[in-house]
């Protein structure tokens, strides 16, 4: 790993270098009163001078004064949208007499063409989320070839956090606020009264190669120290915390804890938490035909364990109650994910807390179950 | 600008290979009961048949209607024909029920874990089936019957709601006529003309002719039936590690990627559907896992 500095005025040169290499740039931008991730083409598309104020069931944008490019926490979009799209066409089949077949010319193999995407501004929690999806979708025995294709072509520019959001708890999950691996480049935005610049760490050969065409300077000890201190500040600002000690066992042992009734009474089963979660991967497939019935398409869509359909087998849904569905989601995220994939499914990004319409807080619920609180819901200021 | 550019064109040419059904033509339709039928299938355009291990299932696709998991009910030693037995209860199975000889189904598979037949060699084998649960057990029965000398006593305990719901009647009669197989059938509700057992299948366990200290049990039926069967087996002295059950959950992919079939820490599609009872017992007794 090599460490450089990049002046604020040269961030555009970094984006241009990626564009010249054929990457489509995806990064944070302001839309619909939120900082979302979308296609960007220049630095002006970034949320310059914006920050967000987040708490349970609340997200507001606020102006800032320091010209920061990345002065905010995570928004409602996660990067899974681009690697594992919400709606994915899988195949078309044509009726052929009494049989059916792929349309002529359809290749049965995955194309080798590489959809080169550069992710600009991936927070350390989300860098971990990418690694978690890799384990879920690529570790086998079966892999998702479309995810693999997109992931292979993906250039990751991480941005370390120097300010934590109101619902963040990456420090508890050991996923931030500083990225240590899983990126091509990692930036730390540093704003002092005399200088606005980025510390740039390389995480891969192609990251290092890219910097050859970007005006960077070798970083000094002071600059590195400043970056470390900025991340440590974010570490101390975490809006939430989650005690992960034996959390898996605590949840398994408390599958019939009365607290689930209290959560079930609040949960709207709206599925927001699963849509904003950067690691939720559940999907359904829909098989549809054209009006004439001669062509059938299979479409994969994000699904959620909060819907009744999700667990439906003949006779009814396995998880008919809201409390069972919330328990499934939370226990999967924090406990059974460990059995399945050797890692927690939670990266502490806090999105599920912010975007829950009734402000159910996964950290609070885990705490209540650990401490044996049956019903009282403590609220945060 | 919701999705990145050029991804659309990629999806158009990419047939997601693990999610792509292969066409199989229906060679024969056999009606088993009022609502249950068996389809015999062969792959189209190829003659490599379909190899599988007893206990495994396929994702079965009806053109444009949908895809569901169905266990394989045929003989593993005769892989030329793929056999599925199912009840017409949902959208896809009702569409399947309308198909006739010469029609085509899509197949992906085989998927999932097998019945532990290797572990049963040299020991007594007790099959306990409830209703349609006999279908996923039939491949294991075929295997044991064809390799009869490798096993100790072989017992099938089969319970259905009524005499009209009994599956594979002819085969059951043939097996029952053999001196080296013990086949017992019971019904929840009898009708006039029924001269067999009445009562739930678990009531036959205490008297069934097997040595509990040297028996393996393979159980398939409704979850409540499997729980009580396993409890009765253990009560009789069968080691819990020698009891296996086959579970059913919603599945959209069959390959461990869609998340639907999760049951606590396991994916029923890739870790199951056949599980050692000890692995799932605690979850089966809790609500709505």
Quick one: CA dihedral A318, A321, A324, A329, positive or negative?
Answer: positive
Q: Are residues A223 and A251 in the same domain?
A: no
- The answer to whether position A173 is within a domain reads yes
- Taking an 8 Å cut-off on Cβ atoms, the answer to whether A107 and B15 are in contact is yes
The per-residue pLDDT for A110 is 52
- Taking an 8 Å cut-off on Cβ atoms, the answer to whether A107 and B102 are in contact is no
Q: Considering only the beta carbons, identify the residue of A38, A101, A339 that sits closest to B1.
A: A38
Mean of the per-residue pLDDT values of chain A: 94
Q: Considering only the beta carbons, identify the residue of B89, B250, B270 that sits closest to A141.
A: B270
- Taking an 8 Å cut-off on Cβ atoms, the answer to whether A281 and B249 are in contact is no
Residue A11 has pLDDT above 50, yes or no: yes
Partners of A339 on chain B (C-beta within 8 Å) are 265-266
Q: Are residues A262 and A315 in the same domain?
A: yes
- The answer to whether position A108 is within a domain reads no
Q: Are residues A266 and A206 in the same domain?
A: no
The ipTM is 0.93
Residues pairing with A100 in the sheet:
A95
The per-residue pLDDT for A375 is 60
The per-residue pLDDT for B47 is 72
Residue A334 has φ and ψ, to the nearest 5°, of -100, -15
In this structure, are residues B221 and B256 in contact, taking their beta carbons and an 8 Å threshold?
no
Q: Is A298 on the interface with B (CB under 8 A)?
A: yes
Peptide bond into B273 cis (omega under 30): yes
- Taking an 8 Å cut-off on Cβ atoms, the answer to whether A305 and B17 are in contact is no
Average pLDDT for residues A16-40, to the nearest whole number?
Answer: 97
Peptide bond into B110 cis (omega under 30): yes
Q: Tell me how far apart the alpha carbons of residues B189 and B164 are, in angstroms, rounded to a whole number.
A: 10
- Taking an 8 Å cut-off on Cβ atoms, the answer to whether A287 and B250 are in contact is no
**Which candidate in A82, A302, A314 is best for mutational testing of the B interface (most B CBs within 10 A)?**
A314
Q: Is B100 on the interface with A (CB under 8 A)?
A: no
Partners of A109 on chain B (C-beta within 8 Å) are 15, 17
Q: Which of A184, A201, A236 is the last residue of a domain?
A: A236
Average pLDDT for residues B62-72, to the nearest whole number?
Answer: 97
Q: Is A57 on the interface with B (CB under 8 A)?
A: no
Residue A102 DSSP symbol? P
Average pLDDT for residues B13-30, to the nearest whole number?
Answer: 82
The residue among B287 and B113 whose pLDDT is bigger is B113
- The answer to whether position B157 is within a domain reads yes
Give contacts of A 305-334 with B, CB under 8 A: 305, 310-314, 318-321, 324, 328, 331-332
The per-residue pLDDT for A106 is 73
pLDDT of A183-214, one tens digit each?
A: 999 999 999 999 999 999 999 999 999 999 99
Q: Is A104 on the interface with B (CB under 8 A)?
A: no
In this structure, are residues B73 and B82 in contact, taking their beta carbons and an 8 Å threshold?
no
Range of the domain at A259: 247-280+305-371
Q: Are residues A194 and A269 in the same domain?
A: no
Residue A138 has pLDDT above 90, yes or no: yes
pLDDT of B137-166, one tens digit each?
A: 999 999 999 999 999 999 999 999 999 999
- The answer to whether position A128 is within a domain reads yes
**Which candidate in A144, A301, A340 is best for mutational testing of the B interface (most B CBs within 10 A)?**
A340
Q: Which of B79, B110, B141 is the last residue of a domain?
A: B110
Q: Angle CA(A276)–CA(A278)–CA(A284) in degrees, nearest 5?
A: 75
Q: Are residues B227 and B192 in the same domain?
A: yes
Q: Are residues A127 and A254 in the same domain?
A: no
- Rounded to 10 deg, the angle between the B169-177 and B134-146 helix axes is 40
Q: Which of A205, A236, A267 is the last residue of a domain?
A: A236
Q: Are residues B131 and B179 in the same domain?
A: yes
The per-residue pLDDT for A366 is 97
Residue B6 has pLDDT above 70, yes or no: no
Average pLDDT for residues A359-379, to the nearest whole number?
Answer: 83
Mean of the per-residue pLDDT values of chain B: 93
- The answer to whether position B170 is within a domain reads yes
- The answer to whether position B208 is within a domain reads yes
Q: Which of B95, B110, B125 is the last residue of a domain?
A: B110
- Taking an 8 Å cut-off on Cβ atoms, the answer to whether A336 and B286 are in contact is no
Partners of A88 on chain B (C-beta within 8 Å) are 11
Q: Is B14 on the interface with A (CB under 8 A)?
A: yes
User: How many domains is chain A built from?
Assistant: 2
Range of the domain at B32: 19-110
Helices and strands in chain B, H and E counts: 7, 15
Per-residue confidence at B8, pLDDT binned at 50, 70, 90?
very low
Partners of B286 on chain A (C-beta within 8 Å) are 255-256
The per-residue pLDDT for B3 is 38
Q: Is A232 on the interface with B (CB under 8 A)?
A: no
Q: Nearest chain B Cα to A145, which residue?
A: B16
Q: Is A115 on the interface with B (CB under 8 A)?
A: yes
Q: Tell me how far apart the alpha carbons of residues B128 and B224 are, in angstroms, rounded to a whole number.
A: 13
Q: Are residues B156 and B231 in the same domain?
A: yes
Q: Are residues A152 and A256 in the same domain?
A: no
Q: Are residues A255 and A336 in the same domain?
A: yes
The per-residue pLDDT for A108 is 58
Q: Nearest chain B Cα to A105, which residue?
A: B13
Residue A163 has pLDDT above 70, yes or no: yes
In percent, how much of chain A has pLDDT > 90?
Answer: 91
In percent, how much of chain B has pLDDT > 90?
Answer: 90
Q: Tell me how far apart the alpha carbons of residues B105 and A103 are, in angstroms, rounded to a whole number.
A: 17
- The answer to whether position A38 is within a domain reads yes
- Taking an 8 Å cut-off on Cβ atoms, the answer to whether B259 and A281 are in contact is yes
Q: Is B88 on the interface with A (CB under 8 A)?
A: no
Q: Are residues B211 and B130 in the same domain?
A: yes
CA of A339, closest CA in chain B: separation in Å?
6
Q: What is the CATH number of the domain that holds B145?
A: 3.40.50.80
Q: Are residues A272 and A211 in the same domain?
A: no
Nearest Cα neighbor of A120 from A75, A155, A77 is: A155
DSSP β-ladder status, B124-130 and B154-160: parallel
Residues pairing with A95 in the sheet:
A100
- The answer to whether position B278 is within a domain reads no
Distances, alpha carbon A47 to alpha carbons A43, A138, A144, A268, in Å: 9, 33, 33, 32
CA of B142, closest CA in chain A: separation in Å?
27
- Name the least confident of A200-204, A344-348, B283-287: B283-287
- The answer to whether position B181 is within a domain reads yes
Q: Which of A177, A211, A236 is the last residue of a domain?
A: A236
Partners of A289 on chain B (C-beta within 8 Å) are 63-64
Q: Are residues A209 and A349 in the same domain?
A: no
- The answer to whether position A362 is within a domain reads yes
The per-residue pLDDT for B46 is 73
Q: Are residues A230 and A337 in the same domain?
A: no
Residues pairing with A96 in the sheet:
A99
- The answer to whether position B49 is within a domain reads yes
- Name the least confident of A2-11, A118-127, A144-153: A144-153
Q: What is the CATH number of the domain that holds B46?
A: 2.40.30.10
Q: Are residues B106 and B124 in the same domain?
A: no
Q: Are residues A189 and A332 in the same domain?
A: no
The per-residue pLDDT for A114 is 66
Q: Tell me how far apart the alpha carbons of residues B43 and B159 are, in angstroms, rounded to a whole number.
A: 33
- A and B: number of Cβ contacts within 8 A: 171
Q: Are residues A183 and A69 in the same domain?
A: yes
Q: Considering only the beta carbons, identify the residue of A24, A108, A255 that sits closest to B5.
A: A24
The per-residue pLDDT for A29 is 98
Q: Is A253 on the interface with B (CB under 8 A)?
A: no
The per-residue pLDDT for A372 is 85
**Which candidate in B24, B45, B103, B252 is best for mutational testing of the A interface (most A CBs within 10 A)?**
B252
Distances, alpha carbon A139 to alpha carbons A181, B174, B236, in Å: 18, 47, 42
Partners of A294 on chain B (C-beta within 8 Å) are none
Q: Tell me how far apart the alpha carbons of residues B139 and B154 are, in angstroms, rounded to a whole number.
A: 14
The per-residue pLDDT for B49 is 81
- Rounded to 10 deg, the angle between the A322-331 and A362-371 helix axes is 90
Q: Are residues B106 and B128 in the same domain?
A: no
Structure tokens at B18: 């693990």
The per-residue pLDDT for A337 is 98
Distances, alpha carbon A10 to alpha carbons A17, A42, A213, A214, B223, in Å: 11, 11, 11, 8, 64
Q: Is A255 on the interface with B (CB under 8 A)?
A: yes
Average pLDDT for residues A341-351, to the nearest whole number?
Answer: 98
Q: Considering only the beta carbons, identify the residue of A141, A296, A318 that sits closest to B63.
A: A296
Structure tokens at A230: 């900025």
Q: Angle CA(A64)–CA(A118)–CA(A81) in degrees, nearest 5?
A: 80
Q: Are residues B237 and B207 in the same domain?
A: yes
pLDDT of B157-216, one tens digit each?
A: 999 999 999 999 999 999 999 999 999 999 999 988 899 999 999 999 999 999 999 999
User: How many domains is chain B built from?
Assistant: 2
Residue A174 has pLDDT above 60, yes or no: yes
Nearest Cα neighbor of B259 from A304, A88, A147, A135 is: A304
Partners of A119 on chain B (C-beta within 8 Å) are none
Residue A93 has pLDDT above 70, yes or no: yes
């Amino acid at each position: 790993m090599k460490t450089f500095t990049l002046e604020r005025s040269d961030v555009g040169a970094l984006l241009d270098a990626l564009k010249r290499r054929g990457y489509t740039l995806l990064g944070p931008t302001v839309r619909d009163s939120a900082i979302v991730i979308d296609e960007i083409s220049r630095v002006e598309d970034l949320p310059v001078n914006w920050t967000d104020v987040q708490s349970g069931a609340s997200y507001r944008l606020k102006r800032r004064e320091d010209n920061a490019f990345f002065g905010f926490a995570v928004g409602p979009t996660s990067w899974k949208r681009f690697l594992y799209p919400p709606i994915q066409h899988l195949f078309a089949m044509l009726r052929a007499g009494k049989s059916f077949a792929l349309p002529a010319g359809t290749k049965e193999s995955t194309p080798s063409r590489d959809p080169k995407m550069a992710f600009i501004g991936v927070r350390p929690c989300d860098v971990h989320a990418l690694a978690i999806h890799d384990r879920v979708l690529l570790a086998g025995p079966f892999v998702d070839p479309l995810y693999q294709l997109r992931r292979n072509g993906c250039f990751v520019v991480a941005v370390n956090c120097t300010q934590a959001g109101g619902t963040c708890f990456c420090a508890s999950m050991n996923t931030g606020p500083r990225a240590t691996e899983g990126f091509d480049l990692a930036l730390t935005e540093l704003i002092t009264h005399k200088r606005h610049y980025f510390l740039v760490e390389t995480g891969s050969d192609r990251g290092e190669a890219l910097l050859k065409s970007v005006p960077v300077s070798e970083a000094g000890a002071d600059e590195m120290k400043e970056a470390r201190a900025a991340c440590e500040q974010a570490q101390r600002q975490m809006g939430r915390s989650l005690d992960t000690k034996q959390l898996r066992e605590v949840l398994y042992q408390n599958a019939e804890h009365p607290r689930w009734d209290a959560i079930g009474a609040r949960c709207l089963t709206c599925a927001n938490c699963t849509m904003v979660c950067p690691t939720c991967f559940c999907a359904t497939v829909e098989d549809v035909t054209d009006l004439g019935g001669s062509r059938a398409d299979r479409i994969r869509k994000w699904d959620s364990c909060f819907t009744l359909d999700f667990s439906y087998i003949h006779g009814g849904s396995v998880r008919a109650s809201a409390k069972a569905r919330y328990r499934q989601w939370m226990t999967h995220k924090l406990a059974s994910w460990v059995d399945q994939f050797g890692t927690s499914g939670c990266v502490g990004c806090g999105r599920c807390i912010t975007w829950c319409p009734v402000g159910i807080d996964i950290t609070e619920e885990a705490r209540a179950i650990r401490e044996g609180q049956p019903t009282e819901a403590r609220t945060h200021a | 600008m919701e999705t990145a550019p050029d991804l659309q064109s990629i999806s158009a040419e990419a047939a997601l290979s693990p999610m792509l059904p292969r066409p199989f033509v229906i060679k024969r339709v056999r009606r088993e009961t009022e609502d249950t039928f068996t389809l015999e299938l062969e792959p189209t355009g190829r003659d490599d048949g379909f190899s599988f291990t007893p206990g495994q299932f396929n994702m079965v696709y009806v053109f444009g209607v949908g895809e569901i998991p169905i266990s394989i009910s045929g003989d593993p030693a005769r892989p030329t024909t793929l056999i599925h037995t199912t009840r017409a209860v949902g959208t896809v199975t009702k569409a399947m029920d309308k198909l006739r000889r010469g029609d085509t189904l899509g197949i992906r598979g085989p998927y999932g874990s097998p019945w532990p037949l290797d572990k049963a060699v040299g020991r007594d084998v007790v099959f306990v089936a409830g209703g349609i649960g006999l279908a996923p057990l039939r491949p294991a029965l075929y295997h044991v019957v064809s390799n009869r000398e490798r096993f100790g006593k072989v017992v099938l305990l089969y319970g259905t709601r009524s005499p009209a719901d009994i599956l594979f009647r002819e085969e059951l009669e043939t097996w029952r006529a053999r001196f080296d197989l013990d086949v017992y059938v019971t019904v929840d509700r009898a009708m006039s003309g029924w001269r067999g057992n009445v009562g739930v299948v678990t009531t036959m366990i205490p008297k069934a002719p097997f040595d509990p200290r040297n028996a393996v049990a393979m159980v398939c039926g409704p979850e409540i039936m499997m729980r009580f069967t396993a409890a009765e087996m253990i009560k009789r002295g069968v080691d819990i590690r020698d009891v296996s059950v086959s579970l059913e959950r919603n599945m959209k992919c069959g390959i461990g990627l869609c998340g639907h079939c999760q049951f606590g820490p396991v994916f029923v599609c890739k870790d199951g559907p056949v599980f050692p009872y000890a692995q799932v017992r605690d979850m089966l007794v809790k609500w709505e896992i």
